[in-house]
Amino acid sequence: MILGTQYYRPPFPEQKYWEEDFARIKDSGLNAVQLWVIWAWVEPRPGEFVFEDYDRLIELAERNGLNVVLSTIAEIQPHWIFRVVPGSELIDHMGHKVISSNRGECNFGLTPGGCTDHPEIWNRMRSFLTVVVERYQSLPNLRGWDAWNELRWNVQSDGLVCFCPYTLNAFRNWLNQTYNGLDGLNNAWKRRYGFWEEVMPGKLPGRPYTEMMAFQHFLTWRANQHGKDRYDVMKKLDPNHPITVHAAFPSPEAGGDKDNHAINRGNDWFLSDNLDGVGCSSFPKWWGQDNIGFSIRVDSINSAASNKLIWLSEVQGGRSSIGFDMFQPVDAPSQQRWIWNGIASGADAILLWCWRDEVFGKESSGFGLAGNDGFASERLAAMKVTSRLIEEYSNLIFGYRPVKPEVGVLFSPQSYYLYWAQEGSARRSVQALQGYSRSLVRKSIPYLIVEEEHLEVLSDLKILFLPRTIVTNDAIEKALEKFVREGGILVCESECGAFSPQGFYRYPQERFITRLSGVQEIGRRKLPDDCLTVRIDEQELNLGISQWLTPYQLGKGQVLAKGNKGALMVEIPVGKGKLILCGAYLGDAYLRNWTADFEKYVELMARRAGWRLEIEVLSPGSTQDSFIYIKSGRSDGKRVVFVFFPPDHDKARLRFLPNFFSRRYAVDIISGKEVNFLESKSGQECTLTASNWKMCVLVG
Ligand SMILES: [Zn+2]
C-alpha cells in the first residue's frame, strides 16, 4: 500500500529544504512522495524540456528509500501555447475568448490554456506526456502515475465553456453518433433543424432542457474521453505501472454551479472502466465534513472503482488556509481515522496533501502535514504508528476486501443534468443521494452507489433506493424492471422517471413505474406543515419531506402512508419483488434536518429486502451527534472489523452473529490487545475500548 505525501509543486518547496525534508518524510514512516510534473514548467520553450529539479528529487527519494508517484499536470499549459497554436482559446457562453492566466494556487503555467478539442493542443499535450513517461518509466522507485489532477480543464474560465468551433464540432459529432444523424436528432428532440451548424449547446439554465442536458452529457463524456486519451498515451509507453486519475470530489457530488455544468469533470465509473484506478481529494477540516462525509466520498470511489485501484490522492495534511480565512487544524486522531476509513473501504494508495505548509498565493501557510497549525508533531508520531502497522499487516491489508453490499443507491447523471438545466445547480440531487448514503453509513449498512449506466451490479443487490431519479431512459427502465421482477425492492421517490432523457415531461400514466405497478401519481400538491407519517412493520415513523407531495391513486397495494388526497407511500408486489412508491422527497430533507426515524426507515426497508444485520451496537445508543459506525470485510479467511467511536465515548458493547469470528477472541491491531467474546445463542458479544484515535480494528 502507498502511504505518501505530495511534496513538489514547482518551484516550491525551494531546493534548500529538500534534503532535510526527505529524511524527515522517511523518518515519519511514509513510503512515497508525489511530485507535480507541470507542463508549463517542464517545457518553458516549445520542444525544450527541463527536468533537473525532478531528477534531483527522484534521486533524493531513492537515496532515502522513498517511492515516487508522478502527477502529470498537463492542464497547466505553457505560456507560449497561444503564440504557437493561435485560435485555440476556450470560448465561453457569451462568445468571449477565455483569457488564461496563472492558476490561483500554482506559480507558473496557464490555466485553462488551449482547448483540448483543438487537435494541435492535444498534439502538444501528448508530446509532453510522452517525453515525461519515456524519461521516468523505468525508474526503480516509481510506484505509479496520477495522470490528471482533479480532472481540471475549465478552472478560471470564469464562465460556462466551451463554445469554441472545435468543441462545437465535437458536440455535434457526438450527437450525430448518439442519434444516428440529424433526422434522428430531430425526431428525438422534436425539432426541425436543417443543418448541423444550427444545433447549439444550451446557453444558460432555465431555458429548454433538451440541448442543455445533451451538452452536459457530452461534457461528461468528453472528460471521460480525455482521461482515456491521456491514459492510452502513457500506458502504451509504460505498461508496468498503474495509471490513475483523481477527481476533486466524487462525481455524485459534482452538482455544478454558475461556472460548472453538472458532472463536467467526467464520471468516476467510466474513468474506472478505462483506466487502472480512480480516486478523489478530501479536505474534511476545510469543508467542515465529519467522519461520515469523508466516508461517503470513499464509499463512492469504492463503488466506482469496482475491481480497479482506489487512490485517495489528496487527503488533508494540515490546517487548510484559503486567503486570510483560518480553518480548523488537523488533529492526529481525525487524520488517522480518515486513513483507516480509507483502508476499510479498500484504498490502495493514500497520499496526503502536502508535506510543508504552502508558500504561494491564497494557500500560503496552509496544508502542511509537517506545518505550523500546532499539531505537526502529534500527526507525525501517529503516522509513524500507522506506517508500522501497515508494514506489519501488509498481507492482511493487501488481501482485504470490504463485504459485498446488498443495498444500493442509484446515481442518475441524467437527473443531475435536468436539475442543473433548470436551476443552475444539481444540489437537490446531490443532497438527496447524500441523505440516503449518510443514513446507511450511520447505520453501518454496507451499500453501493450504483451508476445508471453500470446496472449489471444490480444482480448482487436486494434493494435499490432511487433518490430524486426524475429522468429515466429505456435501458435503465428495463434493467430496473428486471431487478424487481427477479425479487428486488425498488424504492422510488416523487416523480420517478417523470422526464425523458431529452427533458420532456411524461404524464403519470406514461411512466415506467405506472406501467409496472398499475398505480399512478395524481399530480403535485403543496407540502403540509408537518412530516410524513409512515407505518412499516408495526412501527410508526415520522419522516421529513421537501419540495412537494405527489400522492398516488388509492386502490392497489399496501398503503404505508396515507394523505388526504391519496397514498403517500404504497408497496406493490411486482413479479417476485416489490415497488415502494413514495410521493415525497426524503433524502435531502433528512440531510437538512436529521431524524432518527429516517435512518430507521432505511434500515427497515433493507431488512424487508432480506439484508441481515451482522454486527449490532448494543451500547452506547446513538443520537444526532454521537454514534458508532462500523465497516468490515475479510482478508485471507479472517474477519476484519473497523469500529469508529464518537468523540464522547470510548467504550462500546457489540454483538456479532453466531460464528462471525472463528475463534473466541480477536485482536485489536491498533492497541495490540486481545478482545474476548462471550458466546451465546444470539451471537458473540464483547466490550471494546477505543484507542486514543477513537477507533479499533478487530482481526480474527
Ligand atoms: Zn473548446
Instruction: Map residue 699 onto helix, strand or coil.
Output: strand
Q: CA-to-CA distance for 170 and 155, rounded, in angstroms?
A: 20
Locus of grid cell 487502472: 276
Q: How far is the CA of 258 from the centre of ligand 1 (A)?
A: 18
Q: How far is the CA of 92 from the centre of ligand 1 (A)?
A: 9
Q: How far is the CA of 154 from the centre of ligand 1 (A)?
A: 10
Q: What is the model's pLDDT at position 530?
A: 84
Q: How many CB atoms lie within 10 A of CB 367?
A: 28
Q: What is the model's pLDDT at position 465?
A: 98
Residue-wise pLDDT tens digits, 136-181? 999 999 999 999 999 999 999 999 999 999 999 999 999 999 999 9
Q: How far is the CA of 152 from the centre of ligand 1 (A)?
A: 14
Q: How far is the CA of 122 from the centre of ligand 1 (A)?
A: 12
Residue-wise pLDDT tens digits, 15-69? 999 999 999 999 999 999 999 999 999 999 999 999 999 999 999 999 999 999 9
Q: How far is the CA of 169 from the centre of ligand 1 (A)?
A: 9
Q: How far is the CA of 36 from the centre of ligand 1 (A)?
A: 25
Closest to 383 (Cα-Cα) out of 667, 25, 65, 645 = 25
Q: How far is the CA of 88 from the centre of ligand 1 (A)?
A: 8
DSSP code at position 426: -
Q: How far is the CA of 255 from the centre of ligand 1 (A)?
A: 22
Q: What is the model's pLDDT at position 565?
A: 83
Residue-wise pLDDT tens digits, 105-138? 999 999 999 999 999 999 999 999 999 999 999 9
Cβ 261 vs Cβ 165: under 8 Å:
no
Q: How far is the CA of 194 from the centre of ligand 1 (A)?
A: 24
Q: How far is the CA of 115 from the centre of ligand 1 (A)?
A: 5
Residue ranges in the chain whose pLDDT is less than 70: none
Locus of grid cell 500546532: 374
Q: What is the model's pLDDT at position 64?
A: 98
Q: How far is the CA of 78 from the centre of ligand 1 (A)?
A: 17
Q: What is the model's pLDDT at position 46?
A: 98
Q: How far is the CA of 451 from the centre of ligand 1 (A)?
A: 27
Q: How far is the CA of 200 from the centre of ligand 1 (A)?
A: 13
Q: CA-to-CA distance for 358 and 166, rounded, in angstroms?
A: 37
DSSP state string for 172-238: HHHHHHHHTSHHHHHHHHT---SSGGG-----STTS-HHHHHHHHHHHHHHHHHHHHHHHHHHHHH-
Q: How far is the CA of 693 from the centre of ligand 1 (A)?
A: 48
Written as nine digits, the cell of 497 is: 422517471
Q: How far is the CA of 362 from the centre of ligand 1 (A)?
A: 28
Q: How far is the CA of 81 from the centre of ligand 1 (A)?
A: 14
Q: How far is the CA of 283 from the centre of ligand 1 (A)?
A: 31
